[in-house]
Amino acid sequence: DTEVTQTPKHLVMGMTNKKSLKCEQHMGHRAMYWYKQKAKKPPELMFVYSYEKLSINESVPSRFSPECPNSSLLNLHLHALQPEDSALYLCASSQAATPNTGELFFGEGSRLTVL
């Protein structure tokens, strides 16, 4: 199984809502990532979990709250988002983070629209 599965595929939320994005992998990878991708732009790193501990937070606003319940699962909790947060949120995994074989495995993403 070489898949990273993300749910939901699409999410529409208001600025006062609380929602969560979920990501799952069963490849035994020990590093998991959240990326944000705007249209026609490259993915931007948000968070890295290495061995279930948050290792990188790229100065992401606190309205985004990551959680790694176990080595296979990664959540991104969303609260009080702004319309400019509308984007494709990509989850990725890798065997490790540093050092690594170098390959990131991406999910298909959750497309978020904030009204």
Partner 1 sequence: QQQVKQSPQSLIVQKGGISIINCAYENTAFDYFPWYQQFPGKGPALLIAIRPDVSEKKEGRFTISFNKSAKQFSLHIMDSQPGDSATYFCAASRGRNTDKLIFGTGTRLQVFP
What are the residues binding partner 1 (CB under 8 A)? Answer: 4, 31, 33, 40-43, 45, 48, 50, 55-56, 90, 92, 94, 97-109
Under a CB-based contact definition with an 8 Å cutoff, are residues 96 and 67 in contact? no
At its nearest, how many Å lie between partner 1 and the CB of residue 89? 10
At its nearest, how many Å lie between partner 1 and the CB of residue 80? 27
At its nearest, how many Å lie between partner 1 and the CB of residue 50? 7
H or E element at residue 48: strand 44-50
Q: Is 115 exposed, middle or buried (0-12, 13-18, 19+ CB in 10 A)?
A: exposed
Under a CB-based contact definition with an 8 Å cutoff, are residues 46 and 58 in contact? yes
By beta-carbon proximity to partner 1, the closer residue of 82 and 98 is 98
By beta-carbon proximity to partner 1, the closer residue of 16 and 53 is 53
